[in-house]
Amino acid sequence: MKERVSIAVFASGSGTNFQAIQDTIESGRLNAKIELVITDKPGAYVTIRAKEKGIPVLALSPKEFNSKEAYELEILRTLRDKQVEWLVLAGYMRLIGKTLLTAYPSKIVNIHPSLLPSFPGKDAIGQAIAHGVKVTGVTVHYVDEGMDTGTIIMQRAVDVIDGDRDQTEQAIHEVEHEIYPAALQSLFD
């Protein structure tokens, strides 16, 4: 078996995609190891999930740094110490800057709750419902300097459930938890 790919998961919230990735690793369906969870929200629930799995957490508040570059340099030092190969964004609510993009060319991926290029940015589910679309979806894509503008790796459609945000969101999360680990494994192969 090939050596496991060393990844860092970036998250700002509850960490359901982190959990799905870790569960897929534990089941043997994703040949990776999460070396580190990075969050820009020190109180985020993802930190609890990571600690329960014995995964180190780097929780940094960007406001404590005098620039985005200084913030990302601190992250980069830890990533290099841990010998991380890929950056996996899973509900990370910040744009990645030049420091990390330069250090990890074509090795940063994100998941977004829409069929990009439709509904980029924040609240994609709300945007889809407000526009009255019948189908939205999930996109896994490479990260570039734009907001949800990187090359698409994988997409799957999800029906909007009669304008019901909660049910639509639940359906999207179920698809995210399936396709993100699958997309990652295809990249690592």
Angle between helix axes 16-26 and 45-52 (nearest 10 degrees) is 20
What positions carry a catalytic annotation?
Answer: 112
Whole-angstrom distance, CA of residue 160 vs CA of residue 162: 6
Domain hosting residue 90, numbered range: 5-188
Helix or strand holding residue 21 (H, E): helix 16-26
Per-residue pLDDT, 29: 95
Judged against a pLDDT cut of 70, whether residue 1 lies above it is answered with no
pLDDT band at 162 (very low <50, low <70, confident <90, very high): confident
The dihedral over CA atoms of 94, 98, 103, 104, expressed in degrees to the nearest 10, equals 50
Predicted pLDDT at 164: 87
Question: What confidence score (pLDDT) does residue 159 get?
Answer: 95
Residue-wise pLDDT tens digits, 106-158: 999 999 999 999 999 999 999 999 999 999 999 999 999 999 999 999 999 99
How many domains does the chain fold into? 1
57-98 pLDDT per residue, tens: 999 999 999 999 999 999 999 999 999 999 999 999 999 999
Q: Angle 16-26/165-188 helices, nearest 10 degrees?
A: 40
Supply the CATH number for residue 140's domain.
Answer: 3.40.50.170
Share the mean pLDDT of the chain. 96
Which two tokens mark 66? Answer: 């005098």
Opening angle at CA 90, ends 5 and 17, nearest 5: 85
Which of 84-120 are b and which e, b meaning 16 or more Cβ less than 10 Å from the residue's Cβ? Answer: bbbbbbbbbeeebbebbbebbeebbbbbbbbbbebbe
108: helix, strand or coil:
strand
